[in-house]
Chain A
Amino acid sequence: RKEVEQDPGPFNVPEGATVAFNCTYSNSASQSFFWYRQDCRKEPKLLMSVYSSGNEDGRFTAQLNRASQYISLLIRDSKLSDSATYLCVVNVGANNLFFGTGTRLTVIP
């Protein structure tokens, strides 16, 4: 079983739409969680950390459900510039960082 699983998409949504991605992880000892964004042929960039209480950064909201072992990312009022691949990342221990394969989002004008 994969450490981190994501729906690869693609998700094609119109500008202004709300879109949500989910990610599940297999190791209940996972300690920290992140969403990274990766543009085509570029490096991953940290979008936001995911805290147990949930957190929001502008149009982006991240949630963590430890009981069900899933993480979500909600994007409101989608912009064309949000088109990218979103990587779910789980840290099991000091050096054990696991990445999902990513969910591809395309925002259509």
Chain B
Amino acid sequence: ETGVTQTPRHLVMGMTNKKSLKCEQHLGHNAMYWYKQSAKKPLELMFVYNFKEQTENNSVPSRFSPECPNSSHLFLHLHTLQPEDSALYLCASSHLTGPSYEQYFGPGTRLTVT
């Protein structure tokens, strides 16, 4: 399935590095999301973009910086991360940000911070 794609699939980075995660959706959706999934924890919503405008930032540290140049692409820029930021980062999209709109996930980027 290629509805929502993410690159890279795996990333190992040092605490002083800068890297970016990329997400692209081919579903004609208008809303895109970043989630973090850590072991033994539920998915945590990080950022929401609706028609390219950020509508939600759930108190995410500034070392994570999102960018949404258009409704099909979403980036997560990473800098000076901590080891506890190691997790699976999932991108999702939906038609709109409403309660009944189902979200479709990409395969995720498994990030390890050393």
Report which A residues bind B (CB closer than 8 A): 2, 4, 31-32, 34, 41-46, 49, 87, 91-102
Using A42-B107, A43-B105, A93-B99 as known contacts, say yes or no to A101 and B55 having CB atoms under 8 A apart: no
Q: Are B55 and A95 in contact (CB under 8 A)?
A: yes
Using Cβ atoms and an 8 Å threshold, which residues of chain B touch A43?
90, 105-108
Using Cβ atoms and an 8 Å threshold, which residues of chain B touch A94?
55, 97-99
Using A100-B42, A101-B41, A101-B42 as known contacts, say yes or no to A95 and B56 having CB atoms under 8 A apart: yes
Instruction: Report if B51 contacts A (CB, 8 A).
Output: no
Least CB distance, A49 to chain B, in whole angstroms: 7
Main secondary structure of the interface of B (DSSP, over half): loop
Using Cβ atoms and an 8 Å threshold, which residues of chain B touch A42?
107-108
Q: Are A44 and B55 in contact (CB under 8 A)?
A: no
Least CB distance, A79 to chain B, in whole angstroms: 20
Instruction: Report if B43 contacts A (CB, 8 A).
Output: yes
Chain B residues 83-110 with CB under 8 Å of chain A are 90, 97-100, 102-108, 110
Chain B residues 33-60 with CB under 8 Å of chain A are 40-43, 45, 48, 50, 55-56
Q: Are A95 and B45 in contact (CB under 8 A)?
A: yes
